[in-house]
Amino acid sequence: MNILVTGSSGWLGQTLVPRLLRDGHRVVGLDPESGPTTEIVGSVVDRALVRSIMRDHAIDAVVHAAARHKPHIETHDNSEFVAVNVQGTLNLLEEAVAPGSKIDRFVFTSTTSLMISQQIRDGRAGGATEAIWIDEEMAPLRPRNIYGVTKLAAEELCRLFNHLHKLPVLVLRTSRFFPEEDDMAHAIAQSGENTKANEFLFRRLSVEDAAEAHVAALAKAPEIGFDTFIVSAMTPFSRNDCAALIADAPSVVARYFPDYPALYARQGWTMFQSIDRVYDAGKAARRMGFTCQTGFREVLDRLG
């Protein structure tokens, strides 16, 4: 296939573009920032540029990973989020269904962040007595910032274009795979790799798995038509663990992984005392046939 990957200089794009090339695809990377995985420097906000890329490169498929992200809230105003995340997505979708287009599949990189309301974000400090079990059926969605609001709006555009034009679109709500740390909701003395390791239990995946999820989505989109998937490492927990997770997470983790305390002690690491949410990636496994290869077990094995 001839695949347009937006956001090709980003953390995901740097992994996804080479992965698609290894499969023999022709990949056109589009990003405002130059880089080895970006062929065209430009923005999805530029409708004429999007049109020319799709026409001149005979694009068959789109992976739309470009976005203004949560860290940009501090440096960019709301209109920039709307322009890139909403108008940029609309530009791609409209050109994908324009007369003469060859595009027969579209994968949109969304975020689990849009599922986290301020109430969920406050967690135990806000009076929660059990962790929130989060799957694709959770409703209503009340994003807590402009990032989440615009990503949800873009998802709705994807749904609409599938409905109106039968464009196969899969929406991937990825959990954390970026290298930097994010919020301090689960602050511990040992940050960095310790924090990331803990998050593989309930809200993280590797960037390699994020890329593989997009490869799987490209393959399955024509068959599925439209759907939304949480993409995250498979959690070991069940819904029955939710009360104990928010009260005493280490004891729950030790029940599933009896070797973790000793392995963590060797590293001088600690477990979060409380876990306030759990992302359930089971639907992606059932319907898309995708499961992350790296989870908390694999993280522990590397420590051993």
pLDDT digits over 128-157, tens only? 899 999 999 999 999 999 999 999 999 999
Phi and psi at 87, nearest 5°, equal: -65, -40
Which candidate, 108, 105, 99, 111, places its Cα nearest to that of 225? 105
- The per-residue pLDDT for 232 is 98
- The per-residue pLDDT for 182 is 60
Which candidate, 33, 3, 40, places its Cα nearest to that of 18? 3
- The per-residue pLDDT for 175 is 97
Which three-class secondary structure state does DSSP give residue 28? strand
CA distance 160 to 54: 21
Query: Mean pLDDT score of the chain, rounded to an integer?
Result: 94
pLDDT digits over 72-118, tens only? 666 668 999 999 999 999 999 999 999 999 999 999 999 999 999 98
Token reading at 19? 């992965």
CA distance 165 to 98: 10
- The per-residue pLDDT for 115 is 96
> Under CATH, what is the fold of the domain 2-303?
Rossmann fold (3.40.50)
- Reported confidence tier of residue 127, pLDDT bands at 50, 70, 90: confident
Q: What is the pTM of this model?
A: 0.94
Indicate if the pLDDT at residue 216 is higher than 60: yes
- The per-residue pLDDT for 294 is 98
**Residue 7 region, left (φ>0) first, then alpha (ψ -120 to 50), else beta?**
left
- Reported confidence tier of residue 61, pLDDT bands at 50, 70, 90: very high
